[in-house]
Structure 1
Amino acid sequence: MLLHRTIASRLATSPPARFNTTNRVCYQCLNTLSRTSPEHRNFSSTFSKLQTLAAAPETWRKPQHYFLSNRFLSKRGRSSVVDIVPPVSALPPHRRRRKEKAEAAADNTAIPPDASSLLSTSSAAQKSALHRDALAYLSLAKPRLTALIVLTTMASYALFPVDPLLSSPAAPTLSALTLVYLTAGTALCCSSANALNMAYEPNFDRLMSRTRNRPLVRGLLSTSQAVGFAGLTGAAGIAALHLGVNPTVAALGALNIFIYAGVYTPMKRVSVANTWVGAIVGGIPPLMGWAAASGAVALDGTFMELLSHPGGWLLAALLFAWQFPHFNALSWPIREEYRNAGYQMAAWKYPALNARVALRYSLLFFPICVGLWYYGVTDVGFLVDSSVLNAWLVREAWKFYQKGGEGGRARSLFWASVWQLPLLLVLAMAHKAGLWRGVYEKFLGVGQEEEESWEEEEEEGEEVTKVQEEAQTVTHR
């Protein structure tokens, strides 16, 4: 027993990584123990077991844990490393905090850096000044976010219900040229808003891991260059929307720049309500796409006429609701960085509210999708397909709500939101009301008889008109 205590005291004062043959005292004691105690295992077995324990320092709780071959400490002189690992609640407070920080750091790496940071890194590595400046200016636009906004605008434009009487090739209602102006103008307006956002926050961006590589933080561009880029792209975007689409869409684009750069950006340091303001910014692009499509059939082209159909507002509500599960999951792993940078986010101020809001707005997807079918934007098949995607998002939001983001739940909800929205918009366009009716009628021959009878009636009418004209000519003679 005295020998056991001597070895235990030696192990308690020696780091596990240094426990090898160079530590002559422990080596000799263990060698003596293996030769003089026939009831113990040989030295090689004991030494390998101690090396296994060295990889798990949290199991070194009591001296007897070092001597797994002692038959009085375990059944049949055997014990398992797993059996003696204490639960997390049994760890000392300092080790428990260290373990929680390590898990939070591991979860932190799952959220990828934004495209601006990646482009800034690539820009700094370029040897050509032209390439370096081009990538730096491109990073101001936040390409990933801009691409997502353009996608939602195009999807809303494509989902506008076209009257079958006006959808013939002779009288198309949706112009490809209008779509080009819409996408280009939306991308330019979004780039302007993002550039103004970066020009306002370089001192705060350098305090966060996701944004410290942005071009203004790294000195690739100056604040005046960012503001100049924002002014140029904003003016070009609004002009493209006004000249190529209609004034209502141009006004919505200008309003989005103002809300994002003038209201949402400074509000992030004032109140957690900034997330709701940012969600409004996300809901405006679908209204722009809807107003662009409805302008082709409008009589007066007023704001109320272009946005009178509920479909545009339902698509805007879809994007508004999506912001919360996406951003609340994104902000959770870096909540301490938001706190240190002075941003007022619910992830660190009100963690329970943060998880509850993400779940609440995830559930809102179900009635919104039902509304799209009810008002004739999509067909009934969209209810089935969308329910599968929405159930997936709600499932991840529920786990996020239960665990509060721990254990990788924030990462799972984040990636679910990243994939759910594009897939949902693609399904909505695939299930557009009346899209498959022409294919169905052509495949089964339905409606061909009606078309033939209509053509015959038209021909008969033309013949009657010719006879009447000839009769009038003879009478005049």
Structure 2
Amino acid sequence: MSSTATHIDITSAEKVKAYYELLKPRLSFLVVFSSGFGYALASQTLIGWVNFIIFLIAGFLVSGSSVTINQVIEQKYDAIMKRTKDRPLPSNRITESEAIWFSVVTGIIGLVLMFLATNMLATLLSFLSLLLYAFVYTPLKRVGSIAVFVGAVPGALPPLIGWAAASGVLSYEAMIIFGIQFIWQFPHFWAIAWVSDEDYKKAGFKLLPGGGAKDLNTAINIMVYTLFLLPLGLLPTLFGLTGLTSGVVATICGTLFLAQTFSLMKDISNQKAKRIMFGSFIYLPIVQITFLLDKI
């Protein structure tokens, strides 16, 4: 999928900056945070900091590779959306071939480092996450809201990868932290899709549930999935992974998050959806940090 615009000449510093932007650093750092959380939660002894840091770098590179492939595939759609038109590919600061090679190099280095610092299970899960995000979720965005379900899998894999990296196994505790992040993806994705609906429609992206409208039906879907976070947030306490404090904090955060969805159901507006979007960004790190601090 080649860009029709002419590539522009830029300085070396601008080129480096463009490559860095390809990695979507904010998203990739969130991936690193969640994978680091899973790693720390699974660790039964003091963390080996050298391997841990290499693991985080590896995760950042694999994430960066997958989002770069995403931008290569979606470059013509990014060019027509206001929020993405200045990305490296549509702005012609990076060519398609440069982006492809960059994704290959970062992906290979990331997976090799992952294997050297951890184990085969974590490496395979990382590779699976890359494949699902770049080659399954990305094209499905123009098909329908099934893309959100598929995208929620690689979106929830980072803590699972972290757990596998530290322990070498996938236990029920690992599935609990995967489940929390998996369900969290739905209100998170749908709130973003609601706020960006006008832009997404230009590109033919269909991420909202049901009929794809910003209506009460979508608000109810967001509420239902957010509601599931309440019992899920208690599972680490019930299964003895963490103490009572984290269960209380998760319940309070989940209740406040849920209250925002009722507000959207009452007032179908972009402003209320934006509050849910920001609420989702706050909920997950607070709950995960509390789980770590309250680890038994």
Q: Give aligned pairs, total.
A: 287
Q: Which amino acid aligns with 2:61?
A: L
Superposition RMSD in Å:
1.8
1:328 is aligned to 2:210: no
Tell me which moved more, 354-363 or 210-219.
354-363
Please give the TM-score of this superposition, normalised by the length of structure 1. Answer: 0.58
Which blocks of at least 5 consecutive residues in structure 2 are unaligned? 1-7
- The answer for the alignment partner of 1:392 in structure 2 is 256
Superposition pairs for residues 362-377 of structure 1, below 5 Å? 362-377=226-241
1:161/1:377 contact within 8 Å kept: no
Please give the TM-score of this superposition, normalised by the length of structure 2. Answer: 0.92
Q: Which amino acid aligns with 1:272?
A: S
1:311 is aligned to 2:178: no
- The answer for the alignment partner of 1:293 in structure 2 is 166
Q: Which amino acid aligns with 1:324?
A: F
- The answer for the alignment partner of 1:263 in structure 2 is 136
Please point out which of 426, 430, 455 is paired with 2:293: 430
Please point out which of 25, 36, 45 is paired with 1:143: 25
Tell me by how many angstroms 1:247 deviates: 0.5
Q: Which amino acid aligns with 1:197?
A: N
Superposition pairs for residues 17-32 of structure 1, below 5 Å? none
1:329/1:413 contact within 8 Å kept: yes
CA–CA separation in structure 2 for the residues paired with 1:356 and 1:146: 30
1:411 is aligned to 2:280: no
- The answer for the alignment partner of 2:76 in structure 1 is 203
- The answer for the alignment partner of 2:5 in structure 1 is none
CA–CA separation in structure 2 for the residues paired with 1:182 and 1:382: 26
DSSP-derived class of the 1:364 partner: helix
CA–CA separation in structure 2 for the residues paired with 1:400 and 1:142: 29
Structure 1 residues 16-36: Cα deviation after superposition (integer angstroms, max 9, x where no partner): xxxxxxxxxxxxxxxxxxxxx
Tell me by how many angstroms 1:336 deviates: 2.5
- The answer for the alignment partner of 1:301 in structure 2 is none
DSSP-derived class of the 2:89 partner: helix
Tell me by how many angstroms 1:216 deviates: 0.5
DSSP-derived class of the 1:270 partner: coil
Change in CA separation of 1:353 and 1:273 when aligned onto 2, cut-off 3 Å: farther
Tell me by how many angstroms 1:175 deviates: 2.0
- The answer for the alignment partner of 2:34 in structure 1 is 152
Please point out which of 93, 98, 104 is paired with 1:220: 93
Q: Which amino acid aligns with 1:310?
A: Y
CA–CA separation in structure 2 for the residues paired with 1:282 and 1:186: 13
Superposition pairs for residues 109-128 of structure 1, below 5 Å? none
Tell me by how many angstroms 1:161 deviates: 6.0
- The answer for the alignment partner of 2:284 in structure 1 is 421
Q: Which amino acid aligns with 1:398?
A: F
Structure 1 residues 223-261: Cα deviation after superposition (integer angstroms, max 9, x where no partner): 111111100000001101111100011101111110011
DSSP-derived class of the 1:216 partner: coil
DSSP-derived class of the 1:349 partner: coil
Structure 1 residues 422-459: Cα deviation after superposition (integer angstroms, max 9, x where no partner): 111111111111xxxxxxxxxxxxxxxxxxxxxxxxxx
Q: Which amino acid aligns with 2:108?
A: A
Kindly name which structure, 1 or 2, has the bigger radius of gyration based on alpha carbons. Answer: 1
Structure 1 residues 40-79: Cα deviation after superposition (integer angstroms, max 9, x where no partner): xxxxxxxxxxxxxxxxxxxxxxxxxxxxxxxxxxxxxxxx
Tell me by how many angstroms 1:333 deviates: 2.5
DSSP-derived class of the 2:125 partner: helix
Please point out which of 204, 208, 223 is paired with 1:359: 223
2:152/2:185 contact within 8 Å kept: yes
Which blocks of at least 5 consecutive residues in structure 1 are unaligned? 1-123, 296-305, 434-477
Structure 1 residues 86-139: Cα deviation after superposition (integer angstroms, max 9, x where no partner): xxxxxxxxxxxxxxxxxxxxxxxxxxxxxxxxxxxxxx9xx9722101110011
Tell me by how many angstroms 1:403 deviates: 2.4
Tell me by how many angstroms 1:199 deviates: 0.5
DSSP-derived class of the 1:359 partner: helix
- Which structure carries more relative contact order (alpha carbon 8 Å, separation 6+)? 2
Identity of aligned residues (%): 29
Tell me by how many angstroms 1:394 deviates: 0.5
Q: Which amino acid aligns with 2:272?
A: R
2:10/2:93 contact within 8 Å kept: no
- The answer for the alignment partner of 1:343 in structure 2 is 205
DSSP-derived class of the 1:218 partner: coil
Tell me by how many angstroms 1:353 deviates: 4.0
Q: Which amino acid aligns with 1:364?
A: F
